[in-house]
Structure 1
Amino acid sequence: MTSNSVAPARLAAVIAAERDRYAARNPSSRVAAEAAMRHMPGGVPLHWMKDWGLPFPLAVASASGAEITDADGHVLADFCLGDTGAMFGHAPPPVVAAIRAAAGRGLTAMLPSLDAGPVGDLLADIFALPFWQTTQTASDANRAVIRWARAITGRPKILVFEGCYHGQVDDVFVTTDDEGRTALRPGLVGQVTDLTRTAVCVPFNDIAAAEAALAAGDIALVLTEPALTNTAMVLPAQGYLEALAAACRRAGTLLAIDETHTISTARGGYAKAHDLAPDFLVVGKPIAGGLSAAVFGFTERIEAGMRAVDAARPSGYSGIGTTLSGNMLALAAMRATLEEVMTQAAYDHMLGLSAVLAEGLAAAISAHALPWTVTRLGARAEIVFSPVPLADGRAAARSIDHDLEGALHLFLLNRDVMVTPFHNMTLVSPATTRGHVDRLVAVFAEALDTLHA
């Protein structure tokens, strides 16, 4: 038996049977994958799309609300939602209408559209920060925040937490080794610089470790998610984030909260809901209804610091920004999302239904007496292969069982339910129904029956 109480032989048999079932039910996706493989490695336009662990990629024919229709006509209840990019549902009608109307007026001009003022007002009101800039991705936003923090403070280093995820940002690709020292993350492609010279990594939920690192006086920025969400989910301990914010203030270090996943917590995000008052706030993925866009907000003090930096530096490229950032189409989609989609009513629905889902998953786990838990953060719920909630990124990494995880995901997918491929994460959208939730819970219980037969 494995640590998760599933016999290895049984697990292998279930995986083999589900891979055969997948291949038999998806002939059109196979044809599409073979066509794409002529010029796209693995048959996908982004290599992450191979991370589902499938015999060949699943091809999407259409996506609407909380459902995806694949190339073979199967309609799947989608609890992945583009790994949060479609958190408010696929193709929200207000966003689709805004895109259609805006597209005829031009897509990009490297000038602000008439939506810039209203979008700024909406961002300031929803997220409680007065100043904003737009980027194409949260990765871009985090890179900008890091540059500004270093420029404003004159300090070289940033601090991140073991198990964090902040996109494709070189500075954050660090972890800790067995002695607790900052080290490069394994598996990086083409890494040539020593990131440990400019980044410090400590365990999440360990305020003493963070305070010790900040005491050196050379850290410009602490960049953190309010909860670790790109590993097995780790929630902050009671009072931890408040203590971290206070430690940053004492050390003269700026604090950035990356809400790219935790925007699922509440309208305005985790930071607003918990009065964290960061110096910077980053929101990506769903901010424009699924269109490529992200934002970063900041305080009046930071805006003044930016102006001082600009006044003192030579003219020329700042190293911040890309040509298509803040384009006309993205701003139109963002305005529609903020005005008509990211509403309190939408969050009320999402949070209530996510609680029902978490309770159903937990009941199925309990019925099989498994040493697992369900961790929930707003509209996000995750099955964690641990009998107790996880405290830090190292514990989260130890809890992951990729084979078991893959078996569960494939079993669900073969029965028209989709969850996030990277771990056991589910996300509820405003378009998700009780029927979708009941289907996931029922198929999950069936999967447990099959794995333990």
Structure 2
Amino acid sequence: MSQQLVQIDREHLKKLYAEEEALFLKNHPKCRDAFERAKNSLLDGVPMHWMKKWTGGHPLFVKQAKGGHFTDLDDVKFIDFCLGDTGSMTGHSPDVVVDFVSKQLNNGITYMLPNENAIWVGDDLKKRFGLPYWQVAVSATDANRFTLRIARHITKRPKILVFNYCYHGTVDEAFVTLADDGVTAECRATNIGPQTNPTNTTKVVEFNDVEALERALAPGDVAAVLCEPAMTNIGIVLPHQDF
């Protein structure tokens, strides 16, 4: 059975995109106004630069979030499929969390010292995941940095390995990509002011390429492999069964 290729009408696609963008702007005037006001003090009008990468010309500004929904400044209610990039997987502002956080606020929140709650968290993590010791990090980026330092210290190996166009926060070593030849590693074009060229510290291969991964690991100079269960930075790329 022959397959017939369907050619995408790019001009029609541009027309539809323009219509949707115009509708977005029409439905979110208060969010647009907030974005313009934010440019007076925030770089690119957002707290973090990636928040600007929003289809429609500007980001939504959230007024309230609860459970699996959030409402923007224009009182448009959305189902939230992002959930704080997994930080709110139990939903926004669960009552039990709000009640406990409110109670803790009265007892102080920035001691620079531990309290007994930290012991409970450590014991529970140990029980849940079977690892004997834990350390708290400020962010996923910090956790990756700690992990790479420990891995290099234990293995005495200098390199790390990542997959092409991965995302691991702002870990300097991870901003490396493959050149057009699919083999040569090079610094990402968006990597501004790197401390050192990441090709000196990092090997990079394509996700799902088992042979390339085996070749990269064969010399025995890789201390750690940073890997997502599924690639998420360039769309969703699922692992093959043999990967």
Aligned pairs for 1:112-151 (under 5 A) are: 112-151=114-153
Q: Name the structure 2 match of 1:92.
A: 94
Q: Tell me the SS of whatever aligns to 1:62.
A: strand
User: Which structure has the highest helix share of the two?
Assistant: 1
Shift of 1:149: 0.8
Runs of 4+ in structure 1 off by over 3 angstroms are: 3-6
- CA shift at 1:152, angstroms? 1.4
Partner of 1:426: none
The answer as to 2:219 corresponding to 1:219 is no
1:168 aligns with 2:170: yes
Is the CA contact (8 Å cut-off) linking 1:43 and 1:57 kept in structure 2?
A: no
| Separation in structure 2 between the aligned mates of residue 34 and residue 205 of structure 1, nearest angstrom | 42
Partner of 2:213: 210
2:112 corresponding residue in structure 1: 110
Distance (whole Å) between structure 1 residues aligned to residue 169 and residue 151 of structure 2: 18
2:50 alignment partner in structure 1? 48
Q: Which AA in structure 2 matches 1:231?
A: I
Question: Aligned partners of 1:111 and 1:161: how far apart in 2?
Answer: 38
- 1:87 offset after TM fit, Å? 2.2
Q: Matched residue of 2:25: which SS?
A: helix
Distance across 2 between alignment mates of 1:179 and 1:55: 33
CA distance in 2, matches of 1:142, 1:38: 34
Structure with the larger RCO, 1 or 2 (CA within 8 Å, 6+ apart): 1
Aligned twin of 1:14: 16
Shift of 1:217: 2.1
Structure 2 match to 1:185: 188
**Unaligned stretches of 5+ in structure 1?**
241-453
- 1:290 counterpart residue number: none
Contact 1:171 1:199 in 2 (8 A): yes
Distance 2:236 2:58 in 1: 28
The offset of 1:139, in angstroms, is 0.4
Residue 179 of structure 1 deviates from its aligned partner by 4.3
Query: Residues 96-142 of structure 1: CA distance to partner in whole angstroms, max 9, x if unpaired?
Result: 12211111111112211111111112212222322211111100000
Q: CA separation in 2, counterparts of 1:187 and 1:82?
A: 24
Corresponding residue for 2:71?
Answer: 69
Among all aligned residue pairs of Structure 1 and Structure 2, give the percentage whose two residues are the same amino acid.
Answer: 45
Q: 1:214–1:51: structure 2 CA closer, same or farther, 3 Å change rule?
A: same
Contact 2:172 2:195 (C-alpha < 8 Å) held by counterparts: no
Deviation (angstroms), 1:5: 5.0
For residue 136 of structure 2, give the secondary structure of its aligned residue in structure 1.
Answer: strand
Structure 2 gaps of 5+ residues are none
Partner Cα separation in structure 2 for residue 24 and residue 54 of structure 1: 10
How many Å separate the matches in 2 of 1:190 and 1:64?
39
2-structure distance, mates of 1:208, 1:174: 19
In 1, Cα distance between the equivalents of 2:211 and 2:14? 43
Q: Quick one: which of 225, 233, 238 aligns to 2:236?
A: 233
Superposed CA RMSD in Å reads: 1.8
